[in-house]
Amino acid sequence: MDVQYNVKRVLERIAEAAHRANRAPEDITVVAVTKTVEVSRIMEAINAGIRHIGENRVQEFVKKHEFIPAEVKRHLIGTLQTNKVKYIIDKIDLIHSLDRLSLARELDKRAAAVGRVIPVLIQVNVSKEATKSGIFEEELESFIEQLEPFKHVRVKGLMTIAPLSSNPEAVRPYFARLKELFDRIKERGYPHIDMEYLSMGMTNDFEVAIEEGANIVRIGRAIFGERYV
């Protein structure tokens, strides 16, 4: 599996999807999802131009962190246990998976302790699948209002994971729905949050996500090949 070639192909496909939607390809950030991928192959992706990496497990992230060049941005994309916040609070550039108030409270406390404001995305469970975490859309605005006291947590946008499907068209409505919520919340103009990033789209469906407005896509297998662990 040629990582360098895969990165090039992914960037081309992103550019094509952006053009179809009359958007600028450079407005779309690729997060290379590096779960189960060893550092040497992550470095191949970085050498091919990747500047953002995403891990979904704290332990794996912490193990690899010191070997990744400092200028590469680190994203945490998986469900975050409250008791693990302390291991990542000074290392992560963007958390995609804020899904409950107790996590916001812990992030706020730990971010305050290290003197930073931690940027986060709210994970929304648009499809309401029982196996997925995330806030339901009906609860989103009330959740946002409850985040107001947490001055060391800054919401920067929304994230979702679409249902698993071999047909990307089947998930288009979920992406369109998250974009609607994103625009609506942006219009509300809450002073304590920014609606800047819309993180949606993975290997199976990133082109559809871009057509529907994603500006962060999280791509693992299309860059590193299938995961067998």
The single residue among 65, 91, 177, 221 that binds ligand PLP, judged by CB under 6 A, is: 221
The single residue among 42, 45, 77, 181 that binds ligand PLP, judged by CB under 6 A, is: 77
The single residue among 68, 155, 202, 208 that binds ligand PLP, judged by CB under 6 A, is: 202
Q: Residue 179 burial by CB count (10 A; 0-12/13-18/19+): exposed, middle or buried?
A: middle
- Contact mark string toward ligand PLP, 148..167, x via CB under 6 A: -------------x------
Q: Minimum Å distance from CB 52 to ligand PLP?
A: 12
Q: Minimum Å distance from CB 70 to ligand PLP?
A: 23
Is there binding between residue 10 and ligand PLP (CB under 6 A)? no
Q: Minimum Å distance from CB 72 to ligand PLP?
A: 17
Q: Minimum Å distance from CB 148 to ligand PLP?
A: 27
Is there binding between residue 79 and ligand PLP (CB under 6 A)? no
CB 37 within 8 Å of CB 224: yes
What's the rounded Cα separation, in Å, for the pair 124 and 141?
A: 11
Whose tokens are 């091919």? That residue is 48
> Contact positions toward ligand PLP, by CB under 6 A?
33, 35, 56, 77-78, 161, 202-204, 218-221
